């Protein structure tokens, strides 16, 4: 009898899991599952404690679901990727594994680990799958067979491919014959911080239900509501996508069931656009592994003379910059492990373009806090905001934090939720409270702006221009 081992990584689900489905195809094979925690590696990658707690919740849920299917989950904890690789080899030897199944990870270190593992497992058949994307890297290329460097032409080519044929979803495995599996206690040695389970699903079943609700009720209105942080206009599914509790194929198919015109630019098209952004950054990382090494896509931007000011960085991190929309957003991040997408752009632009602080410091801080931390998406978003990445817009796109707040939180509903010290400030004055306070002789328990936006904009443009000429 052959023994199939499914190595779970960032794919904690039984539905539409390509590696799991392939391993279970043969009814005669014995199927085992494996998860190996790597706390030391997580520390090096700055995993957020809330994401660790979310991972643990979904891992225990996955273990029970696999047990219900008659598939035991082998669990181990090692320090890092090198030890993880050795652990897989050892487990394959212990259980006489004939076939190893896993879903590809596109980060540089993970790809290196998997390639070396395949070389070491000489007698084991290794099968990998492009599971975390709708279309695999290399399938959407320019006419010259190169990776796109700008999103819009990539998106257009991507949509053409989808219209030619949608990627299929794999069914959950059937119950396998054999002894009843009793789940063992799981534990990993990494700090965890509680997360709001009403906002973020803590099981695969809950994630699928939330996806269905959003596609029915929210996806059609996503375009008109997504930029307003006081409105629950986003899917809140990013944490599930980051951990692989949902697949992008599931999202695509559910969206098209509920919003059938999404592929043609109708209702739901803008949310589909966000899924394609996610694909773009994953494809890009495969062809440009330097993105995994804190290097900018546009090389000359490494010449920017960044400001090294720990006090300004801390003011940004703690929500004490004196710009209400920035501070409310950062306090939302610190308080929940999540930040609204529009606010991610505003806060990133402020750190880089107003404070002239290296975007990599912001990227790392976000990862250290985000429940939906994902290297490709986080890096892509930060490089977009810093004008160091793949984007058609030039470096002189600089968000004005005051007008952004006035435009997307005009009544101040979101700001007041996170900055109660501004509750007495009138709506019209809320995004420049210092002006109102000075005019009325009021003392606010809130800092004055750490920088003048107009002056900061001039200094940033000069810094980028000098870097470009250099």
Q: Is 338 a catalytic residue?
A: no
Place of tokens 């819009």: 152
Q: Is 465 annotated as a binding residue?
A: no
Closest to 42 in 3D by CA, of 243, 334, 235: 243
Q: Is 42 a catalytic residue?
A: no
Residue pair 238/251 in contact by the 8 Å Cβ criterion: no
Q: Is 436 annotated as a binding residue?
A: no
What φ, ψ does residue 214 adopt, rounded to 5°? Answer: -65, -45
Biggest alpha carbon distance in the chain? Answer: 83
Determine the Cα–Cα distance for residues 386 and 349; give it in Å rounded to an integer: 7
Q: Is 411 annotated as a binding residue?
A: no
For the record, the structure tokens of 206 come out as 């809950």
Q: Is 306 a catalytic residue?
A: yes
Which residues fall within 8 angstroms of residue 90, CB to CB, at 6 or more apart? none
Determine the Cα–Cα distance for residues 371 and 243; give it in Å rounded to an integer: 10
User: What is the residue-wise DSSP string for 235-283?
Assistant: ---HHHHHHTSS-HHHHHHHHHHH-TTGGGTSTTHHHHHHHHHHHHHHH
The partner residues of 37 in beta bridges, in order of sequence, read 77
Q: Is 199 annotated as a binding residue?
A: no
Q: Would you say the C-alpha torsion 365, 368, 371, 376 has a positive or negative sign?
A: positive
What φ, ψ does residue 76 adopt, rounded to 5°? Answer: -145, 155
Q: Is 408 annotated as a binding residue?
A: no
Q: Is 277 annotated as a binding residue?
A: yes
Task: Say which of 7, 277, 338, 384 is annotated catalytic.
Answer: 277
Give the other-Cβ count within 10 Å of 20's Cβ: 30
Q: Is 388 annotated as a binding residue?
A: no
Q: Is 418 annotated as a binding residue?
A: no
Task: Say which of 109, 341, 413, 421 is annotated catalytic.
Answer: 341
Determine the Cα–Cα distance for residues 15 and 98; give it in Å rounded to an integer: 24
For the record, the structure tokens of 304 come out as 């920017």
Q: Is 421 annotated as a binding residue?
A: no
Q: Is 314 annotated as a binding residue?
A: no
Task: Say which of 382, 384, 400, 418 is annotated catalytic.
Answer: 382
Q: Is 382 a catalytic residue?
A: yes
What is the DSSP pairing of strand 73-77 with strand 3-8? unpaired
DSSP run (H or E) holding 76 = strand 73-77
Q: Is 372 annotated as a binding residue?
A: yes
Residue pair 215/257 in contact by the 8 Å Cβ criterion: yes
Helix axes of 81-94 and 108-120: crossing angle, nearest 10 degrees: 30
Q: Is 235 annotated as a binding residue?
A: yes
Q: Is 238 annotated as a binding residue?
A: yes
Q: Is 278 annotated as a binding residue?
A: yes
Q: Is 341 a catalytic residue?
A: yes
Q: Is 316 annotated as a binding residue?
A: no
Task: Say which of 359, 378, 400, 418 is annotated catalytic.
Answer: 359
What φ, ψ does residue 33 adopt, rounded to 5°? Answer: -115, 155
Q: Is 222 annotated as a binding residue?
A: yes
Q: Is 300 annotated as a binding residue?
A: no
Residue pair 270/253 in contact by the 8 Å Cβ criterion: no
Task: Say which of 118, 221, 300, 306 is annotated catalytic.
Answer: 306
Task: Say which of 118, 221, 274, 432 is annotated catalytic.
Answer: 274
Q: Is 60 annotated as a binding residue?
A: no
End-to-end CA separation in angstroms for the chain: 65
Active centre residues (catalytic): 274, 277, 306, 341, 359, 382
Residue positions forming the annotated binding site for FAD:
222, 234-238, 271, 274-281, 372-374
Binding-site members are: 222, 234-238, 271, 274-281, 372-374
């Amino acid at each position: 009898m052959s023994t199939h081992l499914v190595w779970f990584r960032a794919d904690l689900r039984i539905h539409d899991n390509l590696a799991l489905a392939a391993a279970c195809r043969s009814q005669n094979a014995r199927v085992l599952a494996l998860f190996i925690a790597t706390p030391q590696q997580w520390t090096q990658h700055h995993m957020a404690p809330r994401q660790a707690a979310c991972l643990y919740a979904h891992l225990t849920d996955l273990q029970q679901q696999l047990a219900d299917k008659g598939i035991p989950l082998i669990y181990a904890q090692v320090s890092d990727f090198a030890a993880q690789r050795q652990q897989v080899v050892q487990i394959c030897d212990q259980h006489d594994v004939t076939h190893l199944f896993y879903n590809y990870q596109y980060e540089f270190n993970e790809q290196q680990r998997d390639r070396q593992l395949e070389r070491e497992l000489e007698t084991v058949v290794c099968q990998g799958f492009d599971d975390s994307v709708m279309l695999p890297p290399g399938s959407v290329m320019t006419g010259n067979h190169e990776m796109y460097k700008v999103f819009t032409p990539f998106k257009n080519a991507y949509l053409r491919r989808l219209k030619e044929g949608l990627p299929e979803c794999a069914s959950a495995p059937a119950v396998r014959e054999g002894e009843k599996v009793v789940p063992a206690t799981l534990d990993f040695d990494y700090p965890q911080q509680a997360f709001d389970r009403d906002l973020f699903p803590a099981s695969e079943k809950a994630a699928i239900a939330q996806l269905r609700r959003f596609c029915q009720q929210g996806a059609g209105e996503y375009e008109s509501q997504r930029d307003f942080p006081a409105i629950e206009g986003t899917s809140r599914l990013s944490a599930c996508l980051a951990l692989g509790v949902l697949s992008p194929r599931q999202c695509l198919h559910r969206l098209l069931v509920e919003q059938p015109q999404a592929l043609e630019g109708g209702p739901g098209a803008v949310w589909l656009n966000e899924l394609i952004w996610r694909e773009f950054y994953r494809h890009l990382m495969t062809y440009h592994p330097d993105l995994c090494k804190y290097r900018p896509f546009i090389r000359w931007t490494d010449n920017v003379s960044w400001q090294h000011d720990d006090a300004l960085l801390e003011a940004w991190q703690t929500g004490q910059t004196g710009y209400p929309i920035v501070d409310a957003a950062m306090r939302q991040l610190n308080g929940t492990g999540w930040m609204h997408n529009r606010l991610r752009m505003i806060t990133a632009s402020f750190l880089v373009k107003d404070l002239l602080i290296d975007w990599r410091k912001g990227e790392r801080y976000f990862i250290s806090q985000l429940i939906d931390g994902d290297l490709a998406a986080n890096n892509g978003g930060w490089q977009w905001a810093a004008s160091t990445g793949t984007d058609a817009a030039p470096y002189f796109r600089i968000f004005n934090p005051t007008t952004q707040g006035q435009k997307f939180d005009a009544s101040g509903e979101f700001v007041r939720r996170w900055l109660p010290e501004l509750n007495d400030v009138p709506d019209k004055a809320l995004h420049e409270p210092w002006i109102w306070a000075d005019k009325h002789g009021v003392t606010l328990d809130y800092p004055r702006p750490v920088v003048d936006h107009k002056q900061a904009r001039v200094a940033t443009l000069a810094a980028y221009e000098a870097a470009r000429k250099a």
